[in-house]
Amino acid sequence: MKPVPFEYVAVKSVNEAITALEKYGDNTVIIAGGQSLMQEMNLRQARPSCLVDINGITDLDYIEETGDAIKIGALTRHRTVEKSEIVKRNCPLLQEAVTHIAHFQIRNRGTIGGSLRQNPPGAEYGVVARVLNAQFVIAGPDGKRVLSGEEFFVSHFKTAVKQNEIIVEIIFPKLTKDTGYGFLEVTRRHGHIPIVSAAATLQLNEDDTVKDAQVALGNVSPQGVPYKVQSVSQLIGKPFTQEILDQLANDIKNEVNPDPEADAKAGYTLQLSRIMGRRVSEISSAEYRKEASSVLSIRALQKAYQQIKGTFQ
Ligand SMILES: Cc1cc2nc3c(=O)[nH]c(=O)nc-3n(C[C@H](O)[C@H](O)[C@H](O)COP(=O)(O)OP(=O)(O)OC[C@H]3O[C@@H](n4cnc5c(N)ncnc54)[C@H](O)[C@@H]3O)c2cc1C
């Protein structure tokens, strides 16, 4: 199929983009890499009356290092993030996660802003953004606002970005040298959107007890937003033993709450089946996602531990 007729405006600045989003009406949307939007338009799942093409805003294509953070412009391609020395040095967890996104052809075009705005459940950037407490800079007619991950992600394929706003930058804190990290996901096959994804960070005290532990999971919350695991805080101050991890594994299974009805919800069903390229009835159940949450969280933490200890394979 082909898209319905639409107008097209190419802009060269953030202000021009905001003006165009307002001028051409409510059904006007941004196009960045087009890797999700064009597919939706061709299938007529999206029927925008006007596209605002932001590929000419070259100012939004950058990766910068500041004191304790790295700043990534919204138009930065997945492939640029993957290959960046700044990301490799300061936020290797993000770099590892990006290699799991789709195939390199899609990573060559798709942008970090587009992916985060799309917010498909389980998507890699969202999980990393949540575990690291990244911040989102959004520009609109009234200027800029900065949102936390908790504020930014709203529900399946929904974020707090308004129709007349544009994501301009994502700020990731640098990982300190003593932080171990792990990223894992289960997918139907490499390059598919994850069924469940997990990102973990870990720091140890000198006596080998846990100083800090964080885990975020994708596609396990009823709202379909990246989820920060609460029960992982029980590790703090304790030795990193198998017994304690077994207890945590059990608690994570009880804590996460994948929506059993999610597959039946129209919007979600449509989007998920499109992204996964198969019928929704074939997609793994909530029970499976609970089990996967627990296994992936523990393995991601173990990877982080092995990394700190220098035994990482
Ligand atoms: C076969 C296939 C497999 C994929 N696998 C994965 C995967 O494993 N993991 C994963 O995370 N993704 C996956 N994707 C999606 C891919 O990462 C897309 O690149 C991404 O979702 C959208 O980025 P884009 O720049 O192409 O955005 P577009 O398609 O151009 O836009 C997507 C949405 O974001 C909006 N938008 C874009 N930029 C901005 C901005 N700066 N501010 C506000 N709104 C904006 C658009 O209006 C639109 O609503 C896959 C896609 C395909 C086709």
pLDDT recorded at residue 105:
93
Q: Ligand 1: residues within 6 Å at CB?
A: 29-37, 39, 74, 101-102, 106, 110-111, 113-115, 117-118, 123-124, 161, 166-167, 191-193
Q: How far apart, in whole angstroms, are the C-alpha atoms of residue 231 and residue 3?
A: 46
pLDDT recorded at residue 193:
83
Q: Which atom of ligand 1 is nearest to 123's Cα?
A: 11
Place of tokens 């301009």: 168
Local structure of 34: helix, strand or coil: coil
pLDDT recorded at residue 8:
97
CA of 114 to the centre of ligand 1 (A): 4
Instruction: Write down the architecture of domain 59-173 according to CATH.
Output: 2-Layer Sandwich (3.30)
Average pLDDT, the chain: 91
What would the pLDDT profile of 213-230 be if each residue is shown by its tens digit? Answer: 999 999 998 888 999 999
Within the chain, all domains assigned CATH 3.30.390.50 are found at 180-309
CA of 150 to the centre of ligand 1 (A): 20
Q: How far apart, in whole angstroms, are the C-alpha atoms of residue 247 and residue 137?
A: 38
pLDDT recorded at residue 266:
38
> Whole-prediction pTM value?
0.92
Contacts of 7 (CB under 8 A, 6+ apart): 24, 49, 50, 51
CA of 239 to the centre of ligand 1 (A): 41
- CATH topology for 180-309 is Enolase-like; domain 1 (3.30.390)
Q: How far apart, in whole angstroms, are the C-alpha atoms of residue 74 and residue 54?
A: 10
Q: Is 7-53 CATH 3.30.43.10?
A: yes
What would the pLDDT profile of 234-285 be if each residue is shown by its tens digit? Answer: 999 999 999 999 999 999 999 998 876 654 443 444 455 455 444 444 455 7
Nearest to 153 by CA among 165, 136, 168, 170: 136
Within the chain, all domains assigned CATH 3.30.43.10 are found at 7-53
pLDDT recorded at residue 124:
96
Q: How far apart, in whole angstroms, are the C-alpha atoms of residue 44 and residue 26?
A: 17
Beta bridge partners, 148, equal 135
Which residue stretches of the chain have pLDDT < 50? 263-270, 273, 276-282
**The two three-digit tokens of residue 5, written as one number:** 């007729």
